[in-house]
A and B are shown apart, each in its own frame.
Chain A
Amino acid sequence: MGEKVLMKGNEAFAEAAIRGGCRFYFGYPITPQSEIPEYISRELPKRGGTFLQAESELGAINMAYGASAAGGSVFISSSSPGIALMQEGMSFLCSAEAPLVALNVSRGGPGIGGIQPGQADYFQATRGGGNGDYRIPVFAPSGIQEAVDLIYNAAPLAEKWRNPVMIFADGILGQMMEPVTLPEQRPFDEPQGIRARKPWAITGYGDDDSRKNVVKSLRMQPDDLEAHVEKLFEKYARAERELVAAESVGVEDADIVLVAFGTVARIAKEAVEILAERGISAGLIRPVSLWPFPYGEFDKIGPRTKVVISAELSMGQMIEDVRIGVGKRLPVRLIHRTGGMIPTSLELADRAEAIFKEYIRT
């Protein structure tokens, strides 16, 4: 571990992906993540990797698919509308079981929306986005160090699960600076060594055509396709058990429990302190994995709690998972800002207090 360095989120994300072993990056400029392709275009070739600016996000994701199918360790990044364009490839990668590290530095929508931070891609990230039955593990960091660690670990994770892994960051994380400690550089794969580590990759079979590989997603026979999707979902069932991650603070004995991810969770932490000064005990559940969602964390909520509040930079998307986690035990309410607006901790505390009062008045 090296010393702490001060880095802009986007540059730290890029560095973490390189150090994590991603030798190939394909991208297209879009705010608020353009520092990533800029940084990688400068740094990756120096270290023996490849940067390629695609003609579009469609081009980028399909280059990524090709490189991944060929056994390369690939990183891509974009922001909301660009990630939307990439969904075609995400579906292909999942069906073809090709690994990928994908980063969404998300902004407000719908449509071209704005360039300020948002979390309204929650459904897109956790519910599919592309066609067909598939899942993508999604992790939401709330600070730059956590983002660096998640991105660094995403390459081996994607390779282990033979599936894309997504990091869901918001524009705040991309643009802010924080001191970080960067992990050691993992060695890049050399082309000659790929077949040994990834026996499924298309590398050219050499002298033995019994080793011919095909990476594909077409299955014209319904029984064949059904069996394939069932097999994928056995994998996803294991992923649900093994990849779930969350941070919970003070939920066992709380008047109210806030649920928030990403930067909003940090703002909520401060709101918890403000509420404590007002005599309201607030707990916080911070999902780190958005899929699989940490439903089990909600079992920790104690008898004292009156209401669970989902705080989001959207019109309420994660709240659907919160409702599943809470079940019928407690009311679930929403505090939201959208369009790139961000609540302050004071605003969050005020709105949470107002909601709490509705449940103690009776």
Chain B
Amino acid sequence: MKPVFTYTKGMCRVDTSYCPGCTHGIAHRLVTETLDELGKLGDAIGVAPIGCSVQAHKFMNVDMCESAHGRAPAVASGIRRVHPDKTVFTYQGDGDLASIGTAEIIHAAARGEKFTTFFINNCIYGMTGGQMAPTTLIGQRSTTSQEGRTVAQAGSPIRVCELLSSLDGAVYVERVALDSPAHIRAAKKAVRRALEIQEKRLGFTFVEFLSTCPTNWGLTPADAMKWVGSNMIPYYPLGVFREPEVSKAV
């Protein structure tokens, strides 16, 4: 009989610590499954952020280290210098990457660092308990914007892909979503594209995943999936923001 489901070698055989309906598990699997398909699991070195995915190293079956909040791109830059031949990636949330880590991500992209950043954007701080993130949408309630975020008080949400795609060093920048099977299949293609371009050492590669946080959004998993489409995608449009010429030809 043909198996309909098998474990991916890229995931450790433990339960994740993520909430029901959280898309971290999907993103983890997309990253590690693709590494496996590319034959890079044993050659990969990952950097986990601070946030819900700080313990990504418990779930992803690759060599990994933790980093201080927002510093993963700096840490990965150091790793890349020591191991020019390995596959290096960071996995970061939106509080980590788009707030405290803006200097590190922008300069890593500007330097054209030859690693891939997987950016989990769920419009909120997860682990610390639902505070406003730089990506929190206007009107969205959080524990530090209890009446809803306002432009007057907190400015507008940062669109990271658009920001990074202004930098020449960022050769591949794509935003995908994890809210439907079709979007997840597209997301996996983006992961593969990013890792293939990293393999060519063309520059910095970046994939943003529009993700869910049902717990801190106060929604059921199913409604959280719908919320991505109805609220996030209109503000954070999906698509490829930057792509190297060489890659298009592939």
- Verify B104–A205 contact, CB threshold 8 A: no
Q: Could you tell me which residues of chain A, from 9 to 24, have a CB within 8 Å of some CB in chain B?
A: 24
Return the CB mask of B11-32 against A: 1 if under 8 Å, else 0: 0000000000000000000000
- Note all chain B residues with C-beta closer than 8 A to A70: 45, 78-79, 82-83
* Contact flag A59-B64 (CB < 8 Å), given A204-B43, A204-B86: no
The CA of A352 and the CA of B161, in the complex, are separated in Å by 64
* B74 adjacent to chain A (CB < 8 Å): yes
The CA of A59 and the CA of B45, in the complex, are separated in Å by 19
Q: Could you tell me which residues of chain A, from 182 to 210, have a CB within 8 Å of some CB in chain B?
A: 191, 194, 202-209
- Verify A24–B78 contact, CB threshold 8 A: yes
- Verify B74–A24 contact, CB threshold 8 A: no
Return the CB mask of A220-238 against B: 1 if under 8 Å, else 0: 0000000000000000000
- Verify A214–B63 contact, CB threshold 8 A: yes
Identify B78's interface contact among A72, A205, A214, CB under 8 A.
Answer: A72
- Verify B68–A205 contact, CB threshold 8 A: no
Return the CB mask of A39-83 against B: 1 if under 8 Å, else 0: 000000000001010111011101111111111101000000000
Q: Which of B54-62, B116-124, B150-158, B191-199 lies on the face that meets chain A?
A: B54-62
| Chain B interface residue number, banded | 35 or more
The CA of A68 and the CA of B67, in the complex, are separated in Å by 12
Shortest distance between the CB of B20 and any CB in chain A (Å): 20
Identify B82's interface contact among A194, A206, A212, A218, CB under 8 A.
Answer: A194
* Contact flag A202-B74 (CB < 8 Å), given A24-B82, A218-B55: no
Closest residue on chain A to residue B40 by CB atoms: A204
- Verify A202–B75 contact, CB threshold 8 A: no
- Note all chain B residues with C-beta closer than 8 A to A69: 65, 75, 78-79
* A300 adjacent to chain B (CB < 8 Å): no
- Verify A63–B83 contact, CB threshold 8 A: no
- Verify A202–B84 contact, CB threshold 8 A: no
* B129 adjacent to chain A (CB < 8 Å): no
Return the CB mask of A159-196 against B: 1 if under 8 Å, else 0: 00000000000000000000000000000000100100
* Contact flag A59-B104 (CB < 8 Å), given A24-B78, A212-B61: yes
Shortest distance between the CB of A93 and any CB in chain B (Å): 10
* A291 adjacent to chain B (CB < 8 Å): no
- Verify A209–B79 contact, CB threshold 8 A: no
- Verify A203–B75 contact, CB threshold 8 A: no
* B219 adjacent to chain A (CB < 8 Å): no
Shortest distance between the CB of A292 and any CB in chain B (Å): 27
Identify A204's interface contact among B44, B71, B84, B106, CB under 8 A.
Answer: B44
Identify B76's interface contact among A66, A203, A207, CB under 8 A.
Answer: A66
- Verify B66–A191 contact, CB threshold 8 A: no
| Chain A interface residue number, banded | 35 or more
* Contact flag A218-B42 (CB < 8 Å), given A55-B103, A66-B78: no
Majority SS at the chain A contact face: mixed
The CA of A56 and the CA of B107, in the complex, are separated in Å by 10
- Note all chain B residues with C-beta closer than 8 A to A58: 71, 74, 103-104
- Note all chain A residues with C-beta closer than 8 A to B225: none
Identify B75's interface contact among A50, A55, A63, A72, CB under 8 A.
Answer: A63
- Verify A191–B107 contact, CB threshold 8 A: no
* B77 adjacent to chain A (CB < 8 Å): yes
The CA of A89 and the CA of B42, in the complex, are separated in Å by 27
- Verify A212–B47 contact, CB threshold 8 A: no
Shortest distance between the CB of A303 and any CB in chain B (Å): 52
- Note all chain B residues with C-beta closer than 8 A to A205: 42, 62-63
Closest residue on chain B to residue A213 by CB atoms: B63
- Verify B42–A68 contact, CB threshold 8 A: no
- Note all chain B residues with C-beta closer than 8 A to A50: 81
Shortest distance between the CB of B237 and any CB in chain A (Å): 29
- Note all chain B residues with C-beta closer than 8 A to A216: 57, 65-66
Closest residue on chain B to residue A216 by CB atoms: B66
- Verify A66–B75 contact, CB threshold 8 A: yes
The CA of A129 and the CA of B96, in the complex, are separated in Å by 23
- Verify B66–A67 contact, CB threshold 8 A: no
The CA of A278 and the CA of B34, in the complex, are separated in Å by 80
* Contact flag A66-B66 (CB < 8 Å), given A58-B71, A191-B85, A204-B86: no
- Note all chain B residues with C-beta closer than 8 A to A204: 42-45, 62-63, 83, 86-87
Listed in ascending order, the chain A residues whose CB lies under 8 Å from chain B are 24, 26, 50, 52, 54-56, 58-60, 62-72, 74, 88-89, 92, 96, 191, 194, 202-209, 212-218
- Given contacts A50-B81, A67-B81, list 18 more A-B pairs with CB under 8 A: A24-B78, A59-B74, A63-B81, A64-B78, A66-B47, A66-B67, A69-B79, A72-B82, A74-B78, A88-B71, A191-B85, A202-B63, A202-B64, A204-B44, A204-B83, A207-B42, A214-B64, A215-B65
18 A-B residue contacts at CB 8 Å? Answer: A24-B82, A52-B77, A59-B74, A59-B103, A59-B104, A62-B78, A62-B104, A66-B75, A66-B79, A67-B81, A69-B75, A70-B79, A89-B68, A194-B82, A205-B62, A206-B42, A214-B66, A216-B66
Instruction: Please provide the 8 A-B residue pairs with the shortest distance between their CB atoms, ordered closest to farther.
Output: A66-B78, A66-B75, A67-B78, A62-B74, A72-B82, A215-B65, A63-B78, A55-B107
